[in-house]
């Protein structure tokens, strides 16, 4: 054990951070220990997908996974860490997709402009919506964001001249470097991989920062957080805008991967499924988002042979997991560790 006296002397501030580091190693959850390493290995292996296989189906699963991961990880920041329930995430996803798609298909602007445009558009809308809506709490916030998503769905369907309406948006130009176009999913995969990696890295940094602690604090008790000087509303708005812009980025990459988008991909039922995946993976658990995204990507494929029964199996499985592991799949790892080594320290 560390001697408390090491850090007790205010005069020893120069050495204090070093002494403190010995306390810092106490991350006792399974995922907390092997998680980061395993995740890095997994992430590197992921990059190899388009290079080792010519199977378009597998590459398309990889593309879906990366996009789902960005969506679920950002939603997890908003819901799991910051405690603000949103049922409008697919709306921001669609906003990003259509912004990027319209920029290249309708205005004929360089498709690279779609990347910042979709992030900024989603963030701006998030701020405009967030200012009134984030004053609501719990179910009321969920209802308001659901309504927002429903309105966007109507716009995606009705603004036919811009979005192509229910038939979808065609004519999206692929991203590219000079004559090398990222016009297949295998070719755009490394870009997605890079973007999703940066998103995951940024979220990891944020969660462990002063800002991340403030978010978790206000999720625990807004009153107590405010009494320590945390401007809760401001932070909620920042996170809403940030997570909205990540969903916007995912939307841009989605439409550039498929060179097509139709409104039903951004319906509020998608928002509900994303929320369910956050819960299934584990609220406020960093790697919960990875598990949630894996399941969201794989489950429909695995259960496809069951046809109509797939929703039933999927739903029942979700209920079972949440019934026995309310902290989600990421919580199972913790439970396993507790069984494995009942008496640590």
Q: How far is the CB of 331 from other proteins (least distance, A)?
A: 13
**Based on CB atoms, which residue is closest to other proteins, 13 or 343?**
13
Strand partners, 169: 261
**Based on CB atoms, which residue is closest to other proteins, 94 or 281?**
281
Chain residues binding other proteins by CB under 8 A are 1, 4, 7-8, 10, 13, 16-17, 19-20, 23-24, 26, 28, 202, 205-206, 209-214, 216-217, 219-221, 223-232, 238, 242, 284
User: How many Å apart are CA 331 and CA 319, to the nearest integer?
Assistant: 15
Q: How far is the CB of 241 from other proteins (least distance, A)?
A: 9
**Based on CB atoms, which residue is closest to other proteins, 222 or 264?**
222
**Based on CB atoms, which residue is closest to other proteins, 13 or 179?**
13
Task: Count Cβ atoms within 10 A of the Cβ of residue 52 and give its class: 0-12 exposed, 13-18 middle, 19 or more buried.
Answer: exposed
Q: How far is the CB of 118 from other proteins (least distance, A)?
A: 18
Cα separation values, 324 from 53, 311, 328, 329, 336, Å:
38, 20, 9, 10, 13
Q: How far is the CB of 230 from other proteins (least distance, A)?
A: 6
**Based on CB atoms, which residue is closest to other proteins, 169 or 217?**
217
**Based on CB atoms, which residue is closest to other proteins, 212 or 263?**
212
Q: How far is the CB of 150 from other proteins (least distance, A)?
A: 29
Q: How far is the CB of 10 from other proteins (least distance, A)?
A: 6
**Based on CB atoms, which residue is closest to other proteins, 36 or 202?**
202
Q: How far is the CB of 219 from other proteins (least distance, A)?
A: 8
The length of the chain is: 345
**Based on CB atoms, which residue is closest to other proteins, 92 or 266?**
92
**Based on CB atoms, which residue is closest to other proteins, 9 or 56?**
9
Using alpha carbons, select from 301, 257, 307, 253 the residue that is nearest to residue 58: 301
Strand partners, 180: 177
Q: How far is the CB of 48 from other proteins (least distance, A)?
A: 27
Question: Token digits for 112?
Answer: 């690279």
Q: How far is the CB of 50 from other proteins (least distance, A)?
A: 28
Residue 110's CB is within 10 A of a number of other CB atoms, namely 12
């Amino acid at each position: 054990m560390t001697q408390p006296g090491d850090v007790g002397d205010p005069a020893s501030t120069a050495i204090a951070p070093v002494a403190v580091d010995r306390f810092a190693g106490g991350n006792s959850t399974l995922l907390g220990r092997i998680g980061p390493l395993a995740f890095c290995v997994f992430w590197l292996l992921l990059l190899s997908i388009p290079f080792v296989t010519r199977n378009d189906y597998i590459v398309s699963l990889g593309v879906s996974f990366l996009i789902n991961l960005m969506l679920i990880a950002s939603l997890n920041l908003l819901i799991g860490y910051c405690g603000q329930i949103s049922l409008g995430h697919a709306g921001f996803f669609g906003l990003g997709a259509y912004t990027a798609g319209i920029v290249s298909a309708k205005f004929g602007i360089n498709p690279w402009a779609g990347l910042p445009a979709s992030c900024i558009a989603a963030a701006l809308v998030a701020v405009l919506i967030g200012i009134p809506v984030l004053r609501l709490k719990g179910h009321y916030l969920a209802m308001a964001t659901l309504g927002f998503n429903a309105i966007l769905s109507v716009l995606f369907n009705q603004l036919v001249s811009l979005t192509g309406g229910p038939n979808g948006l065609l004519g999206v130009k692929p991203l590219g470097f000079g004559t090398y176009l990222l016009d297949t999913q295998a070719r755009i995969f490394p870009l997605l991989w890079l973007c999703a990696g940066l998103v995951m890295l940024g979220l990891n940094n944020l969660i462990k920062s002063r800002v991340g602690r403030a978010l978790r604090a206000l999720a625990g008790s807004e009153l107590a957080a405010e009494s320590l000087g945390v401007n809760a509303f401001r932070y909620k708005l920042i996170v809403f805008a940030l997570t909205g812009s990540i969903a916007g980025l995912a939307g841009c990459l989605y439409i550039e991967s498929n060179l097509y988008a139709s409104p039903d991909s951004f319906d509020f039922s998608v928002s509900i499924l994303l929320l369910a995946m956050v819960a299934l993976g584990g609220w406020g658990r960093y790697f919960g988002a990875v598990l949630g995204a894996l399941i969201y990507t794989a489950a429909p494929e695995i259960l496809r042979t069951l046809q109509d029964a797939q929703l039933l199996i999927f739903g029942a499985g979700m209920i079972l997991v949440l019934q026995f592991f309310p902290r989600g799949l990421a919580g199972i790892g913790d439970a396993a560790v507790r069984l494995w080594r009942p008496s640590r320290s």
